[in-house]
Every structure is written in C-alpha cells, then in structure tokens.
Amino acid sequence: MTVSSNKEAFLNTIAAKLGRERKTNVQRPIIQDLIPDSYGELTNDDLVEILKEQCFFIHTQVIESNPEILQRTLNDLIEANGGGLVMTSGDPRFAEYGLEFPDAAVWEEAAGREENVRRAESANTAIIFADCALAESGTVVVESRPDQGRSLHFLPAHYIAVIERQRLVLRSTQAAAAFNRRIQAGEPVGSSINFISGPSNSADIEMKLVVGVHGPLRATYVLI
Amino acid sequence: MSLQTDKRNFSERTTEGLGDSFMRTAVGSAQDSLKTRRLSAATALGDWEQWRNVGQLIRQHTLQNLDYYLEQLADNVERQGGHIYFAATKEEASSYIRDVVVSKQAKKVVKSKSMVTEEIELNHVLIEAGCELIETDLGEYILQMDDWDPPSHIVAPALHKDRRQIRRVFSEKLGYTGDETPENLAGFARTVLRQKFLEAEVGITGCNFAIANLGAINLVTNEGNGDLTAAIPKTHIAVMGMERIVPTLEEMEVLDNLLCRSAVGQKLTSYITVLGPSAAGETDGPEEFHLVVVDNGRSDILGSEFNEALQCIRCGACLNVCPIYRHIGGHAYGSIYPGPIGAVITPLLGGYDDYKELPFASSLCGACTDVCPVKIPLHEQLIMHRQNIVGQRRTGAADRLQMKAASRLLSSPALFGRTLRIAHSASRLMSKQGRIVRGPALIHGWIHARDLKQPVKQQDSFRAWMEKRKGGSEQ
C-alpha cells in the first residue's frame, strides 16, 4: 500500500496556488477571546437547570438522584426499560459508588472485539459514567478506553448516562478547550471522543422527527 | 453517482421540477421549518454575527495555511498507525479505496452519508469491484433502495419523497409489510441495517472536519450511523475534501456549533464524534484506518476569485432560504451540490460546459449570503460566474444579440427617449388586451408566468404627466 507517497506533490500544488513557498510554522489565531459569552457567572445549580431545560427538547429524561439511592434509581430505570440484559462500561466509578448489577455484561479488554460487540448488541440497557457533561446542549462526553468501547454507546436499545454534578460545564467551548490542552501537552486521549446529546433520531422521512434510528431508542441522564 | 446527477438540459430539468407539485410542497414546508429552526437556534446562541465572524476567521485562516495543516494532519494520522492518502483526482481517490477494500478481501461495506464520496463515484467503483455496499443514513438508504435516486438536498437527501413512496420502495425492494408511519418505516430500516453493520468488513464515512493537531476526524450526525460505521468494521476509510480541516478541537467546536444550528436548528446534533485509528487495548473501532484527502479540482479554486467558496461547511442553510431552490427543487440543478452553494461550486468542479446555466438560477436576492454561517459572499460569486460566462461568449447568439441591443438602448438617453415615444405603437402587434403576449426570447421567462403591460401612449406616460404639472400650476 502506498503511504503518503504523493503527499509532497499534493501539498506543493497547494502552496503554488496560494502563491508562496510551503509553510513550516503557523500561528493560529486566538479564538477563545472572540467567542461571545451570553451567560455570565453561573453556579452549579444554574447549570443543572440549563441542562434539564435542554433535555426536555432533546427527548431525554433527567433524573436527580444521589450516591445513596443511585443503585435503586438505576434498578428502577432498568425495570422501566423492560429488564433484559444490562451492559456497563468497566469504569472504576461503578465500584466506587458500590453499584452492582447481577448478570450484567461489562465491556472489558479481555473479552475481545467480537464478544464485546455481541454483548452490546444483545443488551437492552447500557449504563456508563459521563466524563464530563455540557449543560447548554444536554450532552454527555465520553472517551473510548479499553474498558469502554465505541459501540457500547450505540448498540444497546436504551442508554443511561450517570452524570456527577461537579462534572457539568456550560458548553462545548469548555470541553473542547480542556481536550485541546491535553492534546497539546502530549497526553493520550481516547481514539473516539463522543459528544452524545440524547437518543438517536432522524427527520429524513417528510421532515418528521423519529426518535431512535440506528443508536439508542431512549436516553436517560441520572444526576448525582 | 458523480457530480452530475442528470444529463438532460437545464430547461428540461427545471420544467420537470416546476411541474412536480408534491416536491414543491415538500420543499416549501421543509424550507419554512428549517428556516425558523435555524433562526431560533442562532438567536439562542447570542451575538450570532460575532459567531459568524469567528467562523469566517477560522475558515480563512485554515485555507490560507492549508498545506501546513494538511501536513500536520498527515504526521499525526501516521503517528497513530493510520494511513493517509492524498488524491489529486477522483479516479485516484476511488481506486485507492477500491485497492484497500480488495486487499482486505472485503465484500461487505457500510457507508455513512458523504457528499465527497458521491463526487468521486465511489459507490459505482466498489459495486463494480463486487462489493455489497449499503448506505446507512436513513435518507440515503431510501434513495439507494429506490435504484439510486439522486439526493436533492445536502442535509436531507430524500426530501423530495413522501411516506407513501418510501413505503412502496421498502415493500417492493425489501418485502416490508407495515404501514407508512415514519416511525415504522424507520424502525424497519433500523432492523435491516443493524445486521449490515454487524456483518460489515469495511466502513466508509465522510468527514465534517479533520483535526490537524490530533490526526482525527470529526463526524456530525443525528442517527448514529456514522459512529457504528467507524466502530464495528475492522477497517475504516474516511474521505474528505482537502479543505475540510481545522487546526484543533477549539476551532472544530466553533464550526460544529455553527453547522448544527445552521443546518437543522439544533444546538448540537445527537452525535458529535472525534475519532481516528483504534488505540492500544481498545477492542472495537478500526484496526486499520485510512484517511483519503481529495483535491479533484479544489486546488484550482484555492487562491482564485472563488477562494471563499472553499469556506463552505455544507450546512445547507443557503438552500433553505433560496426562492429558486424552493420552486425548482434540488434535482433541477443536475448536481449533487444543489442550491446557491451548488450553483457556485458545481461550475467550478464540473466546468462551465455542463453547468453554465446554474449561476443564472438565482434572483440575486442575497438571502443565501445573509444566512451563510461562514460568510461566503454567495450571490456576489454568482455574479462573478455570470461575468465569466458572458465574457467567454457562452450564452446563445440570440441572447447576446438581444443583450447588445438592450445595452445600446439603455445606455443612450436620446435613443431611450425616442424608443419610449414609439413604444406603444411598436408593441401593438405583440400585445393583446393591454398585455404583451409575444416578443423576443429575452422576455419569455417573464411573460410565461406574469403580466407585462403594454407601454402606454406617449401622452399618457408618467413623464408627460409630470411635465404638464411642473411648477404646481395645475392640481
């Protein structure tokens, strides 16, 4: 297989069309200061309210819970989804909060590709912990890791994301800046960074919104 | 499918569009709903104009330094074990992808919506190579099942079809027996396509933006099909137009906000993903990742008078406000890129020979320019095209003659005055009951749909009336 064999010619053409030599150093414009801030100072409670309001528009249920009753909240949700197989990520926070789901499948490196995908496909409910959440757009942010595959967020019929309140930020601006700081510092990031805002949907038929197309049919956020 | 979706001439295509009352109603109501949603999402962001300025700044900066950012992207993709291929032509792009698919001995390919893969005729090439290729975006899947009916909108490709037509396609091609509610039709497609995802050996996606300093691509979807395409198959091939790149996630974030709000009026779509080759220990995602960067005529636009057209982020907002698109529909453009942006870039990518009419399919009202989230001066670019087309004498001889006569007439006050004096009697033979009903080809487009009043007699004209009342002597 040819690997970037024609890169030089391709990039030289671009430089020629731009009427200059190839560039080897570029200073990117600072855009963070140019982005308007229409919110001002916000407390964590404000962020929760903004999140709840947005989730109403994106067909996502928000349940306020706390670490003491989290297990029960999740059990109730699993039951409301009609039971069936549960699959969780291997996130250490499940153990930290003392959560246990008998018979649940767990996404794990040792299981390998086929088995993890098979489990996710047969799961009725996926439960994950958000790495971060965005109030304005009703978004949970998750990274792929050995204990949390990409398809875990898409194959199960129902999707439950547990959001720790202190991980709420206002919007994608803050999340993108945080990721970029890590990237520029040379820290590894997941090979897939997912910004998930509610269940999958489509308006491809007569512009009528259908909730639940390829990904989950229903999404629920549990705030603790 | 290639850039060209219809070989008939422009007038045949528009006549068909104008006569399709279902399509016109569908496009009209889609435009109204998308326009309103865009407006409220833009307002909710606060200071939309400043966001547009930032969007324009990012796109212009990236284009001015495109070689630098593409090189950075290539280094970072390869650092993670991915492959990057630079294709100067559409043939190079599609043959490279075919070679990858063949080398994997893959027969089953799933695709998520990508305009650039249409442009490079990838589906055709892979089907020729013996692959079962499935478009997984619901709209695109409907079109594929309907014998590859061309898309008519950048964002909502099956906009021109109603539920009854879709039900008929599913029932004839897939044995669907359910009713025509969108929920059931979509549910059926979900079941069929889920199996295709699980079986696929290669997944092919487009790329909303590549992120140079990460060596990854950004996908913006609502259905989640793009993510499944990049999660399950062992090989992922992403295809991008060479201009679709940002320096970092910070610029991507601004453009994604502009894109989602402009395209569908959402703050963010359901799934915004940044992905590349699978990392060590991750068990799904691609073991092999290829990114194909396509020029195919774009470098000729770079640095030209049409440079700003490359700022496009494919949101489709200009289609949703265009009065011409509303009436003739997407198919009439004869290009996979319809609407105002299509009328600008199709002649650039496909040449004036086939597309010289498109820049004239505009009222020059400028609504497209007003909504463009990255401030492409669309209607001004259409005028530049018109100047080129006229300058190259590509309009018909009769048109040129009439325009020459009109120009003589309108640039000489004396001649214009003399003509006005005889206009009434000279137009008598062309008129019926005070309306002009026939005349030179130049006015056919107007009198076909509207009344053109016969000029009044010289003594009844406004100028004569004014003359008589000079000085306010007569009330």
Tens of pLDDT, residue by residue over B387-428, are: 999 999 888 888 889 888 999 999 999 999 899 889 889 898
| Burial category of A83 from C-beta neighbours within 10 Å (exposed 0-12, middle 13-18, buried 19 and up) | exposed
The string of DSSP letters for A198-210 reads SS-EE-TTTT--E
Measure B2 CA to nearest chain A CA, in Å. Answer: 22
Q: What pLDDT is stored for residue A2 in this prediction?
A: 45
User: How is residue B443 annotated by DSSP?
Assistant: G
Half-sphere exposure of B352 (CA within 13 A, CB side): 16
Q: Are B62 and B69 in contact (CB under 8 A)?
A: yes
Query: Can you give the pLDDT at residue B93?
Result: 97
Judging contacts by C-beta atoms under 8 Å, the chain A residues touching residue B92 are 6
Mutate which of B163, B250, B307 to disrupt the A interface (most A C-beta within 10 Å)? B250
Q: Is the backbone of residue A13 left (phi > 0), alpha (psi -120 to 50) or beta?
A: alpha
B428-466 pLDDT, tens digit per residue, is: 889 999 899 988 888 888 888 889 999 998 888 888 888
Task: Kindly give, in sequence order, each residue whose CB lies less than 8 Å from that of residue B92, ignoring residues fewer than 6 positions away.
Answer: A6
**pTM metric for this prediction:** 0.93
pLDDT for B102: 97
The upper half-sphere exposure of residue B354, i.e. CA atoms within 13 Å in the direction of its Cβ, equals 16
Question: Distance, in angstroms, between A52 CA and closest chain B CA?
Answer: 14
Distance CA A169, CA A155 (A): 27
- Do B138 and A204 count as a contact with CB atoms less than 8 A apart? yes
Q: What integer pLDDT is reported at residue B469 of this predicted model?
A: 85
At B137, the amino acid letter reads D
Shortest CA distance from B162: residue in chain A: A206
* B 300-319 residues with CB < 8 A to A: 300, 302-304
Shortest alpha-carbon distance between residue B232 and chain A (Å): 7
Spatial distance between the Cα atoms of B145 and B150, rounded to a whole number of angstroms: 11
**Window 18-57 of A, Cβ < 8 Å to B:** 18-19, 22-26, 28-29, 31-32, 34-36, 38, 54
Q: What is the per-residue pLDDT for A42? A: 95
Q: Tell me what pLDDT residue B473 has.
A: 55
pLDDT band at A3; cut points 50, 70, 90: very low
According to DSSP, the residues that pair with A125 across neighbouring strands are A86, A158
User: Is the CB of B166 less than 8 angstroms away from the CB of A136?
Assistant: no
Contact B316, B263 (CB under 8 A): yes
Checking if the pLDDT of A210 tops 50, the result is yes
SS3 content of chain B, % helix, strand, coil (to 5): 55, 10, 30
Q: Kindly state the helix (H) or strand (E) to which residue B21 belongs, with its residue range.
A: helix B21-45
Q: Which chain B residue lies closest to A134 (C-alpha atoms)?
A: B268
One-letter amino acid for residue A37 of the chain: D
Query: Across the interface, which of B158, B228, B279 has its CB nearest the CB of A190?
Result: B279
Residue B329 CA, distance from chain mean position: 12
User: How far, rounded to the nearest angstrom, does the alpha carbon of residue B235 sit from its chain's CA centroid?
Assistant: 29
From CA B35, how far away is CA B265, in angstroms rounded?
Answer: 8
Q: Does B320 touch chain A (CB under 8 A)?
A: no
Question: What distance in Å separates the CA atoms of residue A109 and residue A11, rounded to the nearest whole number?
Answer: 40
Average pLDDT over residues B88-104: 97
- ipTM score of the complex? 0.96
First and final CA of chain A: distance in angstroms?
A: 50
Closest CA to B42 of B376, B372, B377, B379: B372
Euclidean distance between CA atoms B215 and B74, whole angstroms? 7
Residues 6 or more apart from A154 whose CB is under 8 A from it? Answer: A120, A200, A214, A215, A216, B224, B227, B228, B231
- Residue for token pair 């669309």: B378
- pLDDT value at B472 more than 80: no
Token duo for residue A28 = 């990117």
Within the 197-216 window of chain B, which residues sit less than 8 Å (CB to CB) from chain A?
197-198, 213-214, 216
pLDDT computed for residue B435 by the predictor: 92
Q: Write down the residue that tokens 């892979």 correspond to.
A: B126
Q: Binning pLDDT at 50, 70 and 90, where does residue B156 land?
A: confident
What is the rounded end-to-end Cα distance, in angstroms, of chain B? 69
- Indicate which of A89, A204, A208 best probes the interface with B, i.e. most B CBs within 10 Å of its own CB: A204
Write out chain A residues lying below 8 Å of B51, CB-based: 35-36
For residues A197 and A172, is the Cβ–Cβ distance under 8 A? no
pLDDT tens-digit readout, B332-370: 999 999 999 999 999 999 999 999 999 999 999 999 999
pLDDT at B471: 65
